Structure 1
Amino acid sequence: MVAETGTARDPSPETSPGTPSVLTRLLRRPLALAGLVIIAVVVLAAALAPWLAPYDPYEQFFDGLTIEGAPLPPNAQFWFGTDLVGRDLLSRLIYGAQTSLVIGVAANGIAVVIGSAVGISAGYFRGWTDTVLMRFTDLMMAFPALLLAIVLAAIFRPSLWIVAMVIAMVNWVQIARVTYTETRSIAERDFVVAERAMGAGAGRILLRHILPHLLSTIIVWATLGIATTVLLEATLSFLGIGVQPPIPSWGNIIFENQTYFSSAPWLVFIPGAAILALALAFNLVGDALRDILDPTQQGRH
């Protein structure tokens, strides 16, 4: 049915005045709240690193090694101990949070933009656009993501932004598939068909009617994807083809100190626990957002 104003009504669900906000509903979930707290702690630590870190992350201390030249265990001066060259591990972890977050957010943001653009374009325009874009997506999905990332990282000289671009290039395919499927479904709905029949252009339909219906899906995938990019960055850095030392990242801290795994296990366990905690936090928040924003879940919680 066409409205009197001459435009088709978009049946987007409207939030009633008494409906709690997404943030309020998120805070009511204990697991999601725990995830938000962990994310907030890591973000604050990264943002305030120059003031929170007790030492320069690159400074090598003469008293930071034992007489035998081994790293010091956690003590009153170095709370998390020192690494294999006498640098304070706590300071390197705090500065490493900057690297992990920058790459996680930047790489995932680029991946979301690329994947959404590919999926929406293929799902709406169909025809040869659909064929070319989705076959290319299938081709990218056929390669193991880690192997492709290793190849790309080996071709380009690793740096902070090169690593972010490499991770984005292998992570956009999943969201492209999801947005493609949903766009095809939305494009067949009556309000879109009516808009098209009245002569509305593709840009107006995509921006005014299709994209708003995809925002919840994109937000959820963007949140969940950060955990994936953080883990992939840590993996690449651990393999020695990610962010290069002496720039601290949680992955290359493990890579640098792996030879002391048996004699100084804190050098591996502590940054490993940080990676695990941050990835788990984003997954908890992403899962909660999926339940909250999925219309099929409305009223169940």
Structure 2
Amino acid sequence: MRVLRELLRRPVSLFGTVVIAIVLTLALCAPWLAPYAPDDQLFEGLSLEGAPLPPSAQFWLGTDTLGRDLLSRVMYGARTSLLIGLVANGMAVTFGLLVGMTAGYARGWLGAVLMSFTDLMMAFPALLLAIVLAALLRPSLWIVALVIALVNWVQVARIAFTETSALVERDFILAERSLGAGHARVVGLHIAPHLISTAIVWGTLGIATTVLLEATLSFLGIGVQPPQPSWGNIIFESQSYFTSAPWLVFFPGIAILLTALSFNLVGDALRDILDPTQRGRD
């Protein structure tokens, strides 16, 4: 509750929290709130020349080139983009914490191997690596989530390694080990709880990166495949109509921008709130 109160007291994080709440509500309630099904091709959604219709009282965000309601597709696209963001980032944070804690606690040759592998992965451009992996595998929602997780765990692993390496030298850890505590007890009761705030902060910040990366892969045609809507493939399908029907690109682009910005704002605020070294610096 203290964290929530701190978030709501800060105007910037309050804005991010409200936007995230709205996007989550629209995504979860899309089957009931969307005026049409995302794949319904509506005859009245096209002009006499077969062109998409601009925003109007009937179609609030206009229609796309097949006469589908853009508002409905953006709302259903939020479900896809946020699902990938949560799943992919959850896997990335979990794997990164496991690698970082193992390397920081075990040290020796095992720690050196794990962190060398982490540094090797960090040397590859994340977007390029994601494009290669997505191109090699058959694109689908879960494959895209897996690909994004495989390129986003390294930063979490490096931070978890640094924090774990410092913790194992603390007096309370040395005292616990001198009393005969096993590795599982030390890690589970004394190290892992200290990394919860790190997991929360990076879990929030990482969703913004994940949403952007998913949109990029879908825009390039190697992410979520039509007819399943995502914000990235909505823009991909409409890119050639950017000048004649700019609303087809503008509205999903705004959704990506606001969502990524909001998660970044909330993540930055959580880092300040949960990190004791940041308190009193505002």
- TM-score, structure 1 normalization: 0.92
Find the counterpart in structure 2 of residue 79 from structure 1.
60
Displacement of 1:89 after TM fit? 0.2
Instruction: Please tell me whether residue 209 in structure 1 is matched to residue 190 in structure 2.
Output: yes
> 2: distance between equivalents of 1:288 and 1:243?
31
Instruction: Please tell me whether residue 133 in structure 1 is matched to residue 114 in structure 2.
Output: yes
Find the counterpart in structure 2 of residue 10 from structure 1.
none
Equivalent residue for 2:3, pick from 22, 27, 44 = 22
Instruction: Please tell me whether residue 63 in structure 1 is matched to residue 44 in structure 2.
Output: yes
> 2: distance between equivalents of 1:139 and 1:106?
24
Provide structure 2 residue ranges, at least 5 long, that are not aligned to the other structure. none
Find the counterpart in structure 1 of residue 173 from structure 2.
192
Find the counterpart in structure 2 of residue 101 from structure 1.
82
Describe the SS at the equivalent of 2:258: helix
Find the counterpart in structure 1 of residue 228 from structure 2.
247
> 1: distance between equivalents of 2:69 and 2:4?
37
Displacement of 1:297 after TM fit? 2.1
Find the counterpart in structure 2 of residue 165 from structure 1.
146
Task: Number of aligned residue pairs: give it.
Answer: 282
Q: How does 1:145-164 map to 2 (within 5 A)?
A: 145-164=126-145
Q: Which structure has the greater CA radius of gyration? A: 1
Structure with the higher fraction of residues in helix conformation:
2
Find the counterpart in structure 2 of residue 13 from structure 1.
none
Displacement of 1:298 after TM fit? 2.6
What do residues 157-177 of structure 1 show as CA deviations (whole Å, max 9, x unaligned)?
111111000000000000000
Equivalent residue for 2:158, pick from 166, 177, 182 = 177
Find the counterpart in structure 2 of residue 8 from structure 1.
none
> 1: distance between equivalents of 2:49 and 2:24?
37
What do residues 261-300 of structure 1 show as CA deviations (whole Å, max 9, x unaligned)?
0011111011000000000010010000000111112344
> 2: distance between equivalents of 1:253 and 1:142?
31
Instruction: Please tell me whether residue 235 in structure 1 is matched to residue 216 in structure 2.
Output: yes
Displacement of 1:80 after TM fit? 0.4
Instruction: Please tell me whether residue 222 in structure 1 is matched to residue 203 in structure 2.
Output: yes
> 2: distance between equivalents of 1:153 and 1:300?
42
Equivalent residue for 1:281, pick from 262, 267, 270 = 262
Find the counterpart in structure 2 of residue 89 from structure 1.
70
> 2: distance between equivalents of 1:76 and 1:231?
31
Instruction: Please tell me whether residue 31 in structure 1 is matched to residue 9 in structure 2.
Output: no
Describe the SS at the equivalent of 1:83: coil
Provide structure 1 residue ranges, at least 5 long, that are not aligned to the other structure. 1-19
What do residues 180-221 of structure 1 show as CA deviations (whole Å, max 9, x unaligned)?
011101111111111111111111111111111111111111
> 1: distance between equivalents of 2:58 and 2:8?
37
What amino acid does structure 2 have at the position aligned with 1:32? S
> 2: distance between equivalents of 1:75 and 1:22?
41
What amino acid does structure 1 have at the position aligned with 2:207? I
Describe the SS at the equivalent of 2:38: coil
> 2: distance between equivalents of 1:77 and 1:293?
46
- TM-score, structure 2 normalization: 0.98
Displacement of 1:110 after TM fit? 0.2
What amino acid does structure 2 have at the position aligned with 1:196? R
CA RMSD in angstroms comes to: 1.0
